[in-house]
Amino acid sequence: MADLSFIVGLVGNVISILVFASPIGTFRRVVKKKSTENFKWQPYVTTLMSTSMWTFYGLLKTNGLLVVTVNGTGTLLQAIYVLLYLIYTSKDTRIYMAKMVGLLNIGAIGVVILVTLVALHGSLRLLVMGSLCSALTIGMYASPLYAMRMVMKTRSVEYMPFSLSFFLFLNAGIWSIYSVLVKDIFILIPNAIGFVLGSAQLVIYFIYKKKSPNSAKEVDLEKAAAEEEDSTESVDNMEMHNRRKDDANMVGKHLNKGRSLPKPALNKQNSFSGILKTLSLSPHELKSYWQTDGYTAL
């Protein structure tokens, strides 16, 4: 049983580290552009707090090596993300974020560790630390509920990436199995909840992927195109109305001018056919016809 729990825990380490490493692409872009753009800093600060607490819990726990290795690696990666964010964000955000990092990741964790080591003893230490870690992890697993709500509201899966949902589901499942094998209720409770929520995410993903082939973005583009088409049609109708009015005025002006001046010499062979042709033309076409065929009024 010990060997099986170690193997499962090792697999859990690999999957969890892959999840922790997923923002590397994001921060590669941040460093390249020297800007955090619209990326949020809160997930990295809260995850750093969670992994730090779990690392301490693993140190307190007997045979907690696998808990320490996975969360220790997570703590290191999250600390790097937080540091890069502080470097490349705006000045105002940097000041506020630095205060939150000091309050949560240094102050709060420092107080928890100090109280646990000084005021608590024996199994009470594991009880308090395990409860705190479970509460933080449940909060992290509950965060995708917003994405699930957006999917159902927009009928589009673009707000819930499949790969992230799948790895969170897999991660929660593996650690749930590990917790049963080592009989650790503090690891079991948050990961069992995460497994249920992860399963619900995948079900919703496949339902709405088949149900709505068009993404919300495509719907917005279609709506914008329709509005633009209506607007263009209105402008075109107005321009055509004004053009016809101008053409009619121009033709009337040319005809009035022509009555007071000598009549132009017409080619007898073409004059009769030209007159018949003009009977079926609009004012705009009539003007074009006179200009191109050399019958321009003087």
Tell me the per-residue pLDDT of 47-58, one tens digit each, with 9 for 90 and over: 999 999 999 999
Tell me the per-residue pLDDT of 24-48, one tens digit each, with 9 for 90 and over: 999 999 999 999 988 889 989 999 9
The rounded distance, in Å, linking the Cα atoms of 137 and 186 is: 10
Structure tokens belonging to residue 23: 């923002």
Q: Which residue has the higher pLDDT, 59 or 147?
A: 59
Give the mean model confidence (pLDDT) for residues 147-165: 81
Tell me the per-residue pLDDT of 259-281, one tens digit each, with 9 for 90 and over: 444 444 444 444 444 444 444 44
Q: Which amino acid is at 96?
A: Y
pTM to 2 decimal places = 0.68
Q: What is the mean pLDDT of the chain?
A: 79
Centroid of chain to Cα 185: 35
The rounded distance, in Å, linking the Cα atoms of 158 and 215 is: 7
Q: 70 exposed, middle or buried (CB, 10 Å; 0-12, 13-18, 19+)?
A: buried
Helices 65-88 and 2-21: angle between axes, nearest 10 degrees? 10
Neighbours of 200 (CB within 10 A): 15
